[in-house]
Every structure is written in C-alpha cells, then in structure tokens.
C-alpha cells in the first residue's frame, strides 16, 4: 500500500522534512530530497554539494600537465588527443549536427589551440586524481560536468550570455568518450613521475658512511 494517497499529500509532507545534505537545516523543496540551494547545485554540477572549480584552484596541476604534454608532444596519444579536439572544433565551425555545436564553433572561430585546451583539461583531471577524498570534485559526474565547463569557457564567450547546464554534461561526456583514456594516462603519468622523484629525494637523504 502506497505511503501517500496522492502527490499533493507527498509534497505537503516532503516540504516539512529537512534537506538531505548533512549540516543543512533548510527544508526540502518540491519532490526533491534537497532544499532549493542544494537541488540547484545537484542539477547544475551533478552533486548537491558540488560547485564551480576555477582554473586558478588547479593551476599547479595545469603546469604539471603542461610539462608532461610538452615533453611528450610526439607521443601518439597526445597527437591523437589534439587531433580529436581540433576535429570537434572544426565540426562546430562548419555547423555539424553535434551536441554543443555552438560552443565548439565558438572555440573554432577564436582559433583556440588544441594543445592548450588539452593542457587545461589534463590539469583538471590530474587535480581530481590528487583529490582522493573528493573534497572539491565530488564524484565522476561532477568531474565530467566541470570538463564540459572548462571546454565551453576556455575561450571568450562571444555573444553567449547563458549556457544551459545540460551542455556542460554533454560536452564533458563527449570529451570523456573521445579522449578519456588519454586524460587518465596523463594523470597516472604525472603521479608516477612524482612518486619517482620523491624516491630519488629520499635516497639523497639516506645516511652516508665513511670507511675508516
């Protein structure tokens, strides 16, 4: 037997309940388990406690990704990644029927460098990998949404006043499908190099001996 007789009864009861986010004392809204604020965050970013993550927050990771990508610019994966981004921007530029076409077109018209765009996205994915406790990037959906946001807003927003949130997820999903394995590889490679560097520094600090 259903708990509520009808939708109105459910809505009346639901708005009496506290938001499902820990520490939030606001009441729920509509059919959601969250208050208005956290429902909006969940809708836009894919998680009720998620939000925008500006490039300055992961500037160190961008630099690390840049160093790795520059050093491996002839690597087949890096070449493919840049070509894929160029292809998506060109497709948008010619008005191809793809999701987020106008945003890819905006980058194409500004002649955005695919390598620089790859560095930005690579830095974001590296930042996510370093944030193992998910203090900033809350889950995979948040990462994909942020990826779309990073791509769409990489260039100047000529004539674009508002971006419907669904396009962040759609464009981010395109990137994940197209070059996701490369972005994971970039993150893993930087972490591996950092581990090796720490081991070298550790060995430098080992006690020295003198044979008398």
C-beta of residue 157 within 8 angstroms of C-beta of residue 134: no
pLDDT at residue 1 is higher than 50: no
158: pLDDT strictly greater than 90: no
Contacts (Cβ under 8 Å, ≥6 apart) of 104: 88, 89, 91, 92, 93, 98, 171
- In the chain, where does DSSP find H-type helix? 7-14, 36-45, 59-71, 76-93, 101-109, 114-130, 140-152, 165-204
Averaged over 109-136, what is the pLDDT?
A: 95
Supply the pLDDT for residue 123.
Answer: 97
Q: Decide if pLDDT at 193 tops 90.
A: no
What are the tens digits of pLDDT across the range 42-101?
Answer: 999 999 999 999 999 999 999 999 999 999 999 999 999 999 999 999 999 999 999 999
Is 36 exposed, middle or buried, given 0-12, 13-18 or 19+ CB atoms closer than 10 A? Answer: middle
pTM: 0.87
Read off the pLDDT band of 174 (50, 70, 90). Answer: very high
């Amino acid at each position: 037997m259903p708990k509520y007789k009808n939708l109105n009864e459910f809505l009346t009861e639901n708005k009496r309940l506290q938001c499902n986010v820990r520490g939030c004392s606001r009441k729920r809204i509509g059919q959601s388990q969250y208050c208005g604020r956290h429902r909006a965050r969940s809708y836009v970013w894919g998680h009720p406690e998620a939000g925008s993550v500006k490039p300055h927050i992961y500037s160190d990771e961008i630099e690390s990704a840049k160093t790795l990508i520059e050093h491996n610019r002839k690597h087949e994966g890096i070449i493919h990644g840049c070509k894929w981004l160029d292809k998506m921007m060109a497709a948008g530029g010619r008005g191809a029927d793809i999701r987020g076409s106008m945003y890819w077109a905006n980058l194409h018209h500004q002649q955005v460098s695919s390598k620089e765009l790859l560095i930005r996205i690579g830095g974001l994915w590296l930042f996510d990998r370093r944030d193992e406790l998910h203090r900033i990037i809350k889950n995979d959906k948040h990462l994909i949404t942020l990826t779309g946001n990073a791509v769409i807003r990489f260039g100047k927003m000529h004539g674009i006043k508002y971006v419907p949130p669904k396009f962040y997820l759609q464009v981010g999903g395109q990137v994940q499908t197209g070059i996701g394995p490369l972005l994971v590889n970039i993150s893993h490679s930087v972490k591996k190099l950092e581990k090796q560097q720490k081991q070298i520094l550790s060995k430098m600090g080992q006690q020295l001996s003198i044979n008398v």
